[in-house]
Structure 1
Amino acid sequence: MKRPGVDKKHFIFYFYPVRKIHTIKEKLSDKDSPEGKKLRSNFRTILEKVGIAAITTFIVYFSVVYNNLGRLIFPSWLEWMELGLEFIFLLILFWLHRQFSKLINSPRLSHLNHFLKIAIEMIIVIVSAIILHFLINILPLSFLFSWDEFNPVRLRTSFLVQIIVALFFYFFVERERSRRKLEAEKLNSARLQKENFQAQLESLKQQVNPHFLFNSLNVLGSLVYSDQDKAVDFIRKLSDLYRSYLDHGAEMLISLKKEMEVCGAYTYLLETRFGKAVNFSFNVPEDKLKLQIPPGCVQMLIENAVKHNGSTPSRPLRVEILVKDDKLLVRNDLNPRKESITSTKTGLQNIINRYHYLTDEEVKIEKSESEFVVKLPLLKVEDYENSDH
């Protein structure tokens, strides 16, 4: 029964923002989640900008008052309104400076001369400060006073002060922030490149080593006599595997489709070698194949599963690759080998490090008595390009 006086639309408009606020609070309270970290970082940035704008507003106001009157006075209601307008002016100015900095440092303008860039920046900052000051600080007051009541000298002084403030915050604050961010990105890029080289080296150690090649040739040798058609398929898969190392080894990200093709070739070789002692299953929806992943991650996890777990035809090692909530899960049974195998754990740590330099999303590892699961975030290209890393 509908309650009298309660409009369903109004109830929805009330419930939705309440629910959104509750969701944001949950994300903020979850210190370990990437969303929580990003929200806290954005919240700190906003508070920092608001604080700087508030302090600067009072400094500019009292400086102008003291310069004009020779003494400090407590603001009246009109001055409080001017303070509020100045505060809004600075907040918008800071946001514009961030956009100007992104534009100047974008690849589209990378060909410009350094001094030409500085000249363009000065012109943009000065013109934007003049226009913004007129729209935010001057125009609203024109509704309270006639233009004849404006003091020309004080008006020119206010424009000059705002231009100086804009130039100061752009060249000494925003550019310094951009410089630090660029240095951090270069450092992250260098670290990611190092991790990528380590991943390639680890892949070569695991796959292009004499043991792997020797075992593969042994399997191939037996197939040539027992099943020539299967031997041809084996050679083709082995060729596909090594070609993938050459084609994608130096890339930071590849599509999930390409990674699954490589894993398909690799698991075929393992199934041919171990027979019914291993069992691999893939459950990857078609619409997820365009998502991105660091190359070789899944193959490395499969290699680790086979390397560290024993298996027999009666008790095969099961490895499952599936997608859940935009994460690729690599799950395998736990049946540690009886013989001791030295593990450097560099492969798994390398995967974690590579994701750290590419995104805020983290690699999750879950281990129980019966299974071992690694959850790899699936990335979108636009998310990676817009990342702060």
Structure 2
Amino acid sequence: MERERWKTKLQEEFLRSEQLQKENFRAQFESLKSQIDPHFLFNSLNVLGSLIYRDPGKAVQFLGQLSKVYRIVLESNRKQVVPLRTELELVEAYTFLLKTRFGSNFQIMTDVPLEKMEHGLPPTAVQMLVEKAIKHNGYTPGEPLAIKIFVEGNKLVVANNLQPRLEPANSSKVGLQNIMNRYSHLTEEQVEICPTEDEFIVKLPLLQEEEV
């Protein structure tokens, strides 16, 4: 009976790991699909082309950050969990591209204590939330899109002000569900989605260092 219990437990762990791997592959596909989107590449190459003549130094920076986004996404999605510092490196590189393109139309503020940097979360989770905010909100110099990333207790909070586009963007509606599905295989703690009249707020559980 003891052997059968262990056998059942091993089968359950195998199925759990297999399901999590599928969710990670799905996240990788969604992230890469968004970044390889013709409009993303077209706009990035346009920005790069204009910088080459206007500001060669910044053009080199832009190309470096674009390469970094692709590298981190590909490397991170081979793992079930990544350190928060890795995810914030991805967001920083992605933000550089956005700020180069949109300037003061876009703001991102990060305030994360050093002691939380080695805590874990599913790869690309934060970047997917930043993408979601960009996709579904409008922004101008007078009314910029502001995204805040900070720690509250043992959760990472990603919040953006609500400025819905006049023409709603097409959405597959799988991003948030994908993040929640991956968390369900890692911890009993829940992803919290807390929309208000002014903000869209998501709280992601931070996994302990030994789980990374």
Moved more, 218-227 or 280-289: 218-227
Quick check: 1:249 aligned with 2:102? Answer: no
CA–CA separation in structure 2 for the residues paired with 1:318 and 1:212: 21
Residue 227 of structure 1 and its aligned partner are, at CA, apart by: 1.7
Partners of 2:122 and 2:168 lie apart in 1 by 30
Distance (whole Å) between structure 1 residues aligned to residue 36 and residue 115 of structure 2: 32
Superposition map of 1:293-332 within 5 A: 293-332=121-160
Corresponding residue pairs, total: 212
Post-superposition shift, 1:181? Answer: 1.6
For 1:296, the aligned partner's letter is T
Q: 2 CA distance for matches of 1:305 and 1:313? A: 16
- The percentage of aligned residue pairs carrying the same residue is 53
Separation in 1 of the partners of 2:196 and 2:109?
20
Equivalent residue for 1:165? none
How far off is 1:367 after superposition?
0.3
Q: 1:355 aligns with which of 180, 183, 187?
A: 183
Runs of 5+ unmatched residues, structure 2: none
Q: CA deviation at 1:175?
A: 2.5
List structure 1 runs of 4+ shifted beyond 4 angstroms: none
Q: Is residue 283 of structure 1 aligned with residue 114 of structure 2? A: no
Shift of residue 248, structure 1, vs aligned partner: 1.7
Q: Which has the higher contact order (CA 8 A, sep 6+)?
A: 2
Give the number of the structure whose residues are more often strand, by fraction. 2
Amino acid across the alignment from 1:314: G
TM-score normalised by length of structure 1: 0.53
Matched, 1:204 2:32: yes
Deviation at 1:185, TM superposition (A): 1.0
Instruction: Provide the C-alpha distance between the structure 1 equivalents of 2:173 and 2:124, rounded to a whole number of angstroms.
Output: 15
* Distance of 2:9 and 2:188 partners within structure 1: 16
Q: How much does 1:347 deviate?
A: 0.8
C-alpha deviation, 1:187, in angstroms: 1.1
More helix by proportion, 1 or 2? 1
Aligned-CA RMSD value = 1.2
CA distance in 1, matches of 2:170, 2:40: 17
Gaps in structure 1 of 5+ consecutive residues: 1-171
Q: Which amino acid aligns with 2:57?
A: D
Task: Return the index of the structure with the highest Cα Rg.
Answer: 1
Deviations for 1:299-322, whole angstroms, at most 9, x for unmatched residues?
000000000000101000000011
Structure-2 separation of matches of 1:175 and 1:381? 32
2:138 partner amino acid: G
Which amino acid is the alignment partner of residue 156 of structure 2? L
Instruction: Give CA deviations for 1:86-134 in whole Å, capped at 9, x if unaligned.
Output: xxxxxxxxxxxxxxxxxxxxxxxxxxxxxxxxxxxxxxxxxxxxxxxxx
